[in-house]
Amino acid sequence: MTRFFVGIDVGTGSARAGVFDEAGALLASAKRPITIWHEPGNIVEQSSEQIWRAVCESVREAVGSARIPLSAVAGIGVDATCSLVVVTPDGKPVSVSPSVEAGRNVIVWMDHRAAGEAAEINGGEHEVLRYVGGKISPEMETPKLLWLKRNLPRSFSDAGHFFDLADYLTWRATGSLSRSACTVTCKWTYLAQENRWDGQYFKAIGLGELADEGFKRIGTDIVDPGTPLANGLTEQAAADLGLMSGTPVGAGLIDAHAGGIGTLGGQDSEGQAEVRNRLAYIFGTSACSMASSDNPVFIDGVWGPYYSSMVPGLWLTEGGQSAAGAAIDHLVTMHPASVEARSRAETDGISLVTWLDREATRLHPNLAQAVELASTVHVLPEFMGNRSPHADPDARAVIAGLGLETDIPSLISLFVAGLCGIGYGLRQLLDKLSQNGMAFDLIIASGGAAQSHLVRQILADTTNLPVAVADTQEPVLLGSAMLGAAAAGRYGSLREAMKAMSRLSTLYSPAGGTVRQMHDHRYRAFGRLQEMERQIRSDRRTLSS
């Protein structure tokens, strides 16, 4: 009997499920929205109960649409944003919100309420910080735990479990308290290469009780992604999901890392699938860049190296930006012509950004020449700081070269300049990696914002590297399905599943000549805007001191 695998992906705004066959072909998918609460003070929250319901509804619809017998679902994999979930020992939600609303028990990855705690931690000489590029981010979990302890001490003490969202979902599915090496290594400071937590670190930053408890609230059994958990789906979870109890469930991944798994092992036209020379670029609300190596590479301002946190047995180096697709969305709404453009987009039944992409492509069918549309406009799109390579959460966006134009063409110029800015941020990261001995011959792009031909060509031209895409509509869901295939034993390892279930398709080659010269000029301007913005902040601090 043919076997099928369900991939579950919980992103920032929705939960999705996809059904794949053994070769990685997508049969059906479904999604449900997730509520997000935004509050003053960079607070962003969600509900784990609502997320679970959205997951269950998505799985039920996807499996039903695939028209396969439930007995043919052989394995399940899960990925999710690196958000913090807090529950009691028996799984009831514990509020993480200043509103003290119990259902709001998830601190979303993009929540920066713990920026002060992160800065405080970075002021100490903690050995574990070597594995996060020298500075911990407020998006990571230990600063958030410290904030919770200080600001909502009752919630901190009532918590029986602190989960990364992917681990919460596999616990909800199987009852297993095992944590994925992906989540705890990348976001919680677990030292996977030594199979241990650093108790001295937790005591030094003010979370000593977690160490004194033997780390039972944050995880004592750490396993590689794709490891089968407990006895598979519990009867309750199976009833919720509409599947059979006992169905194998693999240890999960952070969502961007699932994109890496779903794309990096793809075979090219010559049957090659070498992950070490490839950079996975996942371009969604945020942007994540994933690189694998045999040996650890320490780079200031770049997350990692993390052992076995994406591809088991390899080290992961991770860069990216907190706002990428979200930065473009925000950027274009600032323009006076955005109201008119959005009206036209709604008439056509598409989003504003999709409409702008289409119009830019219509104006410049030769996509490599699209940079000309940016004209005099330059955009440093760091609306939520610089995640890498500068590890500067206080950085902010800069727009230069605007005139008094308020028409649609000037909006398209701003849009294209913003896309170029995203590409230059990636090029800056690639330059930093290259300086530290990590060179690449291919970028593999995925994520919702990378579905555009224009975006892919701009990424190739701004970085001067070829860009490929996986031959699937849903590379992140596919990465999760691969976890299910590994957990079910269909393939001998996750790496074997990556090779068997993924292939590369279209290749976008960088342009040379004058296009290359234009991008080199704009890249230098990008760096100058960063320097200027940092100097302005420094001057402001001097004046206020």
Write out pLDDT tens, residues 123-152: 998 999 999 989 999 999 999 999 999 999
Rounded CA-CA distance 387/112 in Å is: 12
Q: Is the pTM of this model over 0.85?
A: yes
- At residue 167, does pLDDT exceed 90? yes
- pLDDT, mean of residues 103-115: 96
Helix (H) or strand (E) holding 287: strand 287-293
- The alpha-carbon radius of gyration of the chain (Å, integer) is 22
For tokens 């040996």, the residue is 295
Q: Cβ neighbours of residue 352 under 8 Å, at least 6 residues apart?
A: 329, 332, 333, 338, 341, 342, 345
Return the pLDDT at 271. 61
Q: E-assigned strands of 11-71?
A: 14-21, 26-33, 37-39, 43-46
- pLDDT, mean of residues 99-122: 95
Return the pLDDT at 541. 80
- The three-class DSSP label of residue 169 is helix
DSSP letters for 427-471: HHHHHHHHHTT---SEEEEESGGG--HHHHHHHHHHHTS-EEEES
Return the pLDDT at 276. 73
- At residue 542, does pLDDT exceed 90? no
- At residue 321, does pLDDT exceed 70? yes
DSSP letters for 309-364: SSSTTSEEEEEEES-SHHHHHHHHHTSTTHHHHHHHHHHTTS-HHHHHHHHHHHH-
Return the pLDDT at 423. 97
In the chain, the domains with their CATH numbers are: 325-430+512-544 (1.20.58.2240)
Rounded CA-CA distance 373/246 in Å is: 55
**Residue 519 has which token pair?**
């991008």
Return the pLDDT at 186. 96
Other C-beta atoms within 10 Å of 195: how many? 10
Kindly indicate the confidence band of residue 505, based on its pLDDT and cuts at 50, 70 and 90.
confident
Rounded CA-CA distance 231/379 in Å is: 51
Rounded CA-CA distance 236/234 in Å is: 5
Could you tell me which residues are beta bridge partners of residue 79? Answer: 9, 253
- The three-class DSSP label of residue 24 is coil
Higher pLDDT, 446 or 199: 199
Return the pLDDT at 270. 65
What integer best gives the mean pLDDT of the chain? Answer: 95
CA neighbours closer than 13 Å in the CB half-sphere of residue 2? 12
Rounded CA-CA distance 145/219 in Å is: 14
- At residue 274, does pLDDT exceed 70? no
Distinct helix (H) and strand (E) counts, the chain: 18, 21
Kindly indicate the confidence band of residue 269, based on its pLDDT and cuts at 50, 70 and 90.
low
Rounded CA-CA distance 340/331 in Å is: 15
- At residue 545, does pLDDT exceed 80? no
Rounded CA-CA distance 375/377 in Å is: 6
Q: What long-range pairs does 134-139 form, CB within 8 A, spacing at least 24? A: 134/300, 134/301, 134/391, 135/301, 135/391, 136/189, 137/303, 137/387, 137/391, 137/393, 138/111, 138/112, 138/113, 138/114, 138/393, 139/82, 139/109, 139/110, 139/111, 139/112, 139/187, 139/322, 139/387
Please tell me the total number of residues recorded for the chain in this structure: 545
Render pLDDT for 35-51 as a digit per residue (tens, 0 to 9).
Answer: 999 999 999 999 999 99
Other C-beta atoms within 10 Å of 541: how many? 10
Render pLDDT for 329-357 as a digit per residue (tens, 0 to 9).
Answer: 999 999 999 999 999 999 999 999 999 99
- pLDDT, mean of residues 377-384: 96
Helix (H) or strand (E) holding 180: strand 179-180
Nearest to 234 by CA among 178, 176, 173: 173
**Residue 45 has which token pair?**
């929250």
Q: How would you class 214 by CB atoms within 10 Å of its CB: exposed for 0-12, middle for 13-18, buried for 19 or more?
A: exposed
442-446 and 467-470 strand pairing:
parallel
Return the pLDDT at 376. 96
Render pLDDT for 176-223 as a digit per residue (tens, 0 to 9).
Answer: 999 999 999 999 999 999 999 999 999 999 999 999 999 999 999 999
Q: Cβ neighbours of residue 276 under 8 Å, at least 6 residues apart?
A: 292, 293, 294, 314
- At residue 66, does pLDDT exceed 80? yes
**Residue 462 has which token pair?**
């701004």
Range with the largest mean pLDDT of 307-321, 360-374, 464-478, 517-531: 517-531
Other C-beta atoms within 10 Å of 268: how many? 16
Kindly indicate the confidence band of residue 524, based on its pLDDT and cuts at 50, 70 and 90.
very high
